[in-house]
């Protein structure tokens, strides 16, 4: 853990009791945790402490002779998990379950024995954690390899957590300590676990509002997945640390003085910034490190909400606010209960400073999230808002249990619950919370199922938009409905981007399932024939395609296509994979030889691409010999190796080896587009291709009366991209059909 532990932006755990234990919980230290260390974090009576002590003795006996890859006794992992839960001030049952979380999976202890010894509550939590541990490889979910046993284990875990959210907290503590000790594992396993953490556990910590764990999980995963890029950002931060810390202290002193003059009691501190958060901001805004405004950041914690806005006024009077960099999460809290005021200002010496302002209550919620619920229960004064949030999370997960397919259920939880959110408004001002990427159709189904079914158009901020428009926070959405009718099957096609949320997809499928079976079979047959023709495989029998999906009766398969259980992109992928396995020809054979495309995009390997720029002195071109120079504040500048500035360099220790990246392989494929001729037709089709990043290598145009046929040679990366492109071109106004030419 050497580099991360030395990093100046390493996560600072809140909680004075744990500060003296932190170095002992982290891997690579000589001092070992004891049960007394855990008990020192638990504020409970004799009975609760006795439960934790008995759990420790049982775990110690169960794990006797078992060692981790790092060489330390396995009981140290159980103690570390319990200490993390104790720092959150979780109840005694949760801490005991943390000590016992691996005895069923690793040591073969039965749940019946746990229940007899420690009660049903502890046994139920251990069972919930064990179910997720048995999901072998979560990282494959996003890569499309759907292991049904793995997905079913995930479904059981999420449903278990819906009944008791403490199961999530135990698993998060388990994963956090595993990530801290990741260096003991083989590199490939490190990357796999890091990908799981980034896909599942960090979003889960964020959804539960436990920011201190979320940030550390992301940083540790980022370091394992992109160590070079992580090192670059951390090195630049560390190089500037003394200057940055002095700047922060000066700003704190000035703000503290002026708040005292205003009679405001405030606790002001510097705020550490996580490396992955910095990376995300640089990537999202395409900016260098020095333009990330919240690297210099302070936090003011006050007594009341009016004090928050009073402090904001003082800050804006002292320093110039930066337009567009103010967020009011007090008036509009995040879904994970986070509340605070955020502003960025130009401070002393023109340095940009971020200021966060919140109350003590908001600070506790920001640090502990959903875990704060149990902190309040200890004092017999349960927080109503927190209880409502837990109930809402439970309802969201349980609502998705309606789907029969485990893969769809897990995808729904990931999409609808863990992903970033957007907040949009109805015409009457009601706020609707949706996952990022949601469309007007998702909005309509979020309002009411019937509004979704009868949706025919949408206005955003008073202007007409297409139904695949991606909503942004602050948009006001008005849905235009028909008096009767139902959804379109095209809405279920992921290539067209009409629907993002699992709720909307499930409601659309339910509508089609209620239709007459013969009608669904007819619709399924039309969809299949259209897809096969689009791919140039019209001679393939329906029976052969049904067999690829495991259906014995073609009518059952067509019905499944008709009511949306199988969509056209799945058909395209299955059919082309089968064709590829039975034919020695390449997946997308070129219809005619065309020259290899020249890539104008420059990517420098070994640096992540984000912190690099081409030197203006020598203007290196692709394939020329190059060398990198590590600058202060501008990342890595790429020069030609014969550049005079490099040959006469005063600091050769800053040179770093770099190479040009390789262009992504593409395959030429001929497609034909038949349409009624109109002005701007080719422009609109080109726009679709540009949005997908597809190059047009050749165009031939044929005319017949008022119809025009465009023969386009497209350079695509795979069959999925080709299918998306053809589906989107088919939706361009005046286009009759678009399909692949194979002859």
Residue positions annotated with a catalytic role = 105-106
Checking DSSP bridges between strand 655-656 and strand 626-630, what pairing results, if any?
Answer: antiparallel
Residue pair 92/48 in contact (Cβ under 8 Å)? The answer is yes
Q: What are phi and psi of 504, to 5 degrees?
A: -65, -45
With b for 16 or more beta-carbon neighbours within 10 A and e for fewer, the 520-555 pattern comes to: bbebbbebbebbbebbbbeebebeebbebeebeebb
Give the per-residue SS3 of 112-164: HHHHHHHCHHHHHHHHHHHHHHCCCCHHHCCCCCCCHHHHHHHHHHHHHHHHC
Helical axes 719-730 vs 568-582, angle rounded to 10°: 140
Give the per-residue SS3 of 218-244: HHHHHHHHCHHHHHHHHHHHHHCHHHH
Give the per-residue SS3 of 469-506: CCCCCCCEEEEEECCCCCCCHHHHCHHHCCCCCHHHHH
Kindly state the tokens that stand for 590: 């070129």
DSSP-derived letter for residue 73 is B
Residue pair 638/612 in contact (Cβ under 8 Å)? The answer is yes
Kindly state the tokens that stand for 98: 């943390």
Checking DSSP bridges between strand 352-359 and strand 297-302, what pairing results, if any?
Answer: parallel
Distance CA 215, CA 10 (A): 9
Kindly list the strands in the beta sheet with 626-630, ordered across the sheet, starting from the edge strand earlier in the chain: 612-614, 636-640, 626-630, 655-656
Distance CA 166, CA 367 (A): 16
Task: Specify the length of the chain in residues.
Answer: 743
Q: Which burial class, exposed, middle or buried, applies to 374 when counting CB atoms under 10 A from its CB (0-12, 13-18, 19+)?
A: buried
Residue pair 100/59 in contact (Cβ under 8 Å)? The answer is yes
CA dihedral (36, 38, 43, 45) positive or negative: negative
């Amino acid at each position: 853990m050497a580099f991360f532990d030395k990093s100046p932006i390493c996560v600072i755990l809140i909680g004075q009791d744990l500060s003296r234990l932190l170095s002992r919980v982290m891997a690579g230290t000589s001092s070992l945790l004891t049960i007394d260390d855990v008990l020192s974090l638990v504020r409970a009576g004799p009975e609760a402490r006795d439960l934790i002590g008995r759990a420790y003795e049982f775990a110690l006996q169960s794990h006797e002779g078992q060692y981790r890859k790092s060489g330390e006794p396995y009981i140290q992992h159980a103690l570390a998990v319990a200490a993390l839960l104790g720092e959150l001030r979780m109840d005694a049952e949760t801490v005991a379950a943390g000590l016992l979380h691996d005895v069923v999976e690793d040591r073969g202890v039965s749940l019946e024995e746990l229940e007899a010894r420690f009660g049903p509550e502890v046994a139920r939590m251990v069972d919930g954690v064990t179910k997720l541990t048995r999901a072998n490889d979560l990282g494959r979910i996003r890569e499309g390899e759907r292991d049904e046993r793995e997905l079913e284990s995930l479904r059981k875990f999420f449903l278990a957590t819906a009944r008791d959210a403490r199961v999530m907290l135990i698993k998060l503590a388990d994963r956090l300590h595993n990530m801290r000790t990741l260096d003991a594992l083989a590199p490939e396993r490190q990357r796999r676990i890091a990908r799981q953490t980034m896909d599942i556990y960090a979003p889960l910590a964020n959804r539960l509002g436990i920011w201190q764990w979320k940030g550390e999980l992301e940083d540790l995963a980022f370091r394992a997945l992109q160590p070079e890029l992580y090192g670059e950002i951390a090195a630049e931060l560390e190089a500037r640390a003394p200057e940055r810390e002095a700047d922060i202290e000066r700003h704190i002193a000035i703000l503290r003085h002026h708040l005292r003059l205003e009679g405001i009691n405030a606790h002001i501190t510097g705020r550490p910034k996580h490396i992955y958060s910095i990376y995300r901001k640089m990537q999202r805004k395409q900016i260098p490190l020095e333009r990330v405004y919240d690297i210099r950041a302070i936090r003011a914690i006050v007594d009341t909400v009016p004090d928050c806005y009073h402090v904001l006024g003082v800050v804006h009077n002292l320093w110039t606010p930066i337009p567009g960099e103010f967020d009011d999460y007090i008036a509009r809290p995040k879904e994970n209960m986070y509340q605070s005021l955020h502003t960025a200002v130009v401070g002393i010496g023109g340095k940009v400073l971020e200021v966060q302002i919140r109350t003590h209550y908001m600070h506790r919620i920001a640090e502990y999230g959903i875990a704060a619920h149990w902190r309040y229960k200890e004092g017999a004064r349960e927080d109503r808002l927190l209880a409502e949030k837990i109930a809402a999370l439970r309802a969201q997960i349980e609502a998705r249990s309606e789907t029969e397919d485990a893969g769809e259920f897990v995808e729904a939880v990931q999409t609808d619950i863990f992903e970033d959110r957007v907040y949009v408004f109805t015409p009457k001002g009601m706020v609707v919370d949706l996952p990022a990427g949601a469309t007007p159709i998702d909005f309509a189904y979020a309002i009411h199922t019937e509004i979704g079914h009868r949706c025919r158009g949408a206005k955003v901020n008073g202007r007409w938009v297409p139904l695949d428009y991606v909503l942004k926070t602050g948009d006001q959405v008005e849905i235009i409905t028909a008096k009767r009718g139902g959804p379109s099957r095209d809405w279920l096609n992921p290539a067209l981007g009409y629907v993002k949320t699992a709720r909307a997809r499930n409601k659309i499928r339910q509508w089609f399932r209620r239709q007459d079976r013969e009608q669904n079979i007819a619709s399924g047959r039309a969809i299949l024939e259209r897809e096969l023709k689009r791919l140039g495989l019209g001679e393939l029998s329906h029976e052969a395609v049904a067999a690829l999906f495991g259906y014995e009766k073609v009518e059952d398969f067509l019905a499944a296509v008709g009511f949306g259980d199988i969509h056209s992109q799945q058909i395209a992928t299955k059919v082309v994979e089968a064709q590829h396995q039975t034919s020695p020809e390449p997946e997308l054979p070129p219809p005619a030889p065309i020259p290899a495309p020249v890539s104008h995009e420059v990517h420098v390997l070994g640096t992540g691409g984000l912190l690099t720029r081409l030197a203006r002195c020598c203007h290196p071109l692709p394939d020329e010999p190059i060398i990198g120079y590590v600058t202060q504040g501008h990342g890595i500048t790429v020069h030609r190796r014969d550049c005079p500035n490099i040959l006469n360099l005063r600091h050769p220790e800053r040179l770093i080896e770099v190479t040009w990246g390789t262009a992504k392989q593409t395959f030429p494929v001929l497609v034909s587009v038949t349409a009624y001729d109109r002005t701007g037709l080719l422009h609109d089709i080109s726009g679709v291709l540009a949005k997908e990043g597809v190059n047009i290598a050749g165009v031939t145009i044929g005319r017949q009366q008022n119809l025009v046929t465009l023969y386009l040679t497209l350079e695509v990366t795979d069959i999925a991209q080709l299918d998306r492109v053809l589906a989107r071109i088919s939706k361009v106004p005046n286009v009759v059909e678009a399909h692949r030419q194979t002859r």
